Structure 1
């Protein structure tokens, strides 16, 4: 094995370890933000959750704010890409109602089962300085645009109730879905039951 190959392998291993540590810090920060909120989150809490020394965090992020900003952006982007991926798996001939039902399930699964980042975003979005939330809010806006299109498709198909205002309906639905993070836990029953109930309630509220 040549010297260059050995050096390349060492650099790859170092990079991989660095990437894993960065990911662990983001996961830990999301978990702490979910429990303690922006004002209550300290680097020492994140370090303890990630099983690293607090000063080591500065190797990856210049400040607490930079780490939290990255958590919010990564989490918001993951919510958007997850919803897009779920909708892309639906059959091409899916109805507007079926696509909304799929979006409801995607939202709840990501929020309650897949990622602690979702709850971190929901809990802290209104607490963050603009500089920290800017990139995340752009992703949230893109996420809302997907839902805006889903409701518009329902209206275009003639299935949206005439007494329902589309923008208000979209915000009410997303608000209700987001709020489940505040009260739901597995002791209340399986997640599938929550998803089925939410789909039924959303579609009955929106459709003629």
Structure 2
């Protein structure tokens, strides 16, 4: 079940949020699904409205333009995958080794991108399609996320768990790029997500690790 926001729209006191807020979240959920499947050029507000079960003109009450809506989806996708992976890492036992932390991050990223979040799938698939202005907020999140991975690799290198001849920056970009590209080709009818996670972890462990 892909992550959505509208169905979980609750305040801290347990009360439902206002209808206008729930409608806005339903529009965002619908836009994430449409953007992820049809891409930036193919995303029409009419399709988003149909997916959300509202009239198309109602979208303009919440978002000033198609690009403003898409920009929000892109930002949410980048923000949430960063938060999810950070939460997974924070939940690991304190004695977890640096390489095991990288492997945990690999699994968290792939599962979130491909199974949990329509937003992150849409963000990853459209990163190279949308105009710079639409990506502006998402880019800041992507940069922070890249820095998180930089720290993971640097710690593993300092602990002697990575090959000494690796260029850490190139390695980071290659691994993140390969995982993001999986959104374009992975088909659960041919390979399970467990298979994909295990293969990626094996590639990282034996391609990057000292042993």
Q: Which runs of 5+ in 2 are unaligned?
A: 1-14
The reply to whether residue 158 of structure 1 matches residue 128 of structure 2 is no
Distance (whole Å) between structure 1 residues aligned to residue 190 and residue 23 of structure 2 = 35
**Aligned match of 1:44:** 46
**Aligned match of 2:30:** 28
**Aligned match of 1:8:** none
Could you tell me whether the CA contact under 8 Å between 2:77 and 2:121 is conserved in 1?
no
**Aligned match of 2:141:** 139
**Aligned match of 1:95:** 97
Shift of 1:150: 0.5
Report matched runs for 1:102-141 at 5 Å. Answer: 102-141=104-143
Return the TM-score normalized by structure 1: 0.90
Return the TM-score normalized by structure 2: 0.89
Distance (whole Å) between structure 1 residues aligned to residue 16 and residue 69 of structure 2 = 21
Distance (whole Å) between structure 2 residues aligned to residue 77 and residue 132 of structure 1 = 15
Which of 54, 57, 67 is the equivalent residue of 2:56? 54
Q: Which has the larger radius of gyration?
A: 1
Query: What per-residue deviation string (whole Å, max 9, x for no partner) do you get for residues 112-137 of structure 1?
Result: 11011122111211222222111100
Q: Which runs of 5+ in 1 are unaligned?
A: 1-12
**Aligned match of 1:6:** none
Query: What per-residue deviation string (whole Å, max 9, x for no partner) do you get for residues 125-172 of structure 1?
Result: 122222211110000001101000000011101121122110000011
Q: Which runs of 4+ in 1 moved over 4 A?
A: none
Shift of 1:14: 8.8
Shift of 1:40: 1.5
Compare 90-99 and 177-186 and name the one that shifted more: 177-186
Q: Paired residues, what number?
A: 197
Query: What per-residue deviation string (whole Å, max 9, x for no partner) do you get for residues 163-200 of structure 1?
Result: 21100000111111111111112212331222111111
**Aligned match of 2:199:** 197
Compare 93-102 and 189-198 and name the one that shifted more: 189-198
Shift of 1:73: 0.8
Distance (whole Å) between structure 1 residues aligned to residue 17 and residue 197 of structure 2 = 40
Shift of 1:65: 1.0
Which of 69, 72, 75 is the equivalent residue of 1:70? 72
Distance (whole Å) between structure 2 residues aligned to residue 194 and residue 126 of structure 1 = 24
Compare 108-117 and 181-190 and name the one that shifted more: 181-190
Distance (whole Å) between structure 2 residues aligned to residue 98 and residue 55 of structure 1 = 49
**Aligned match of 1:185:** 187
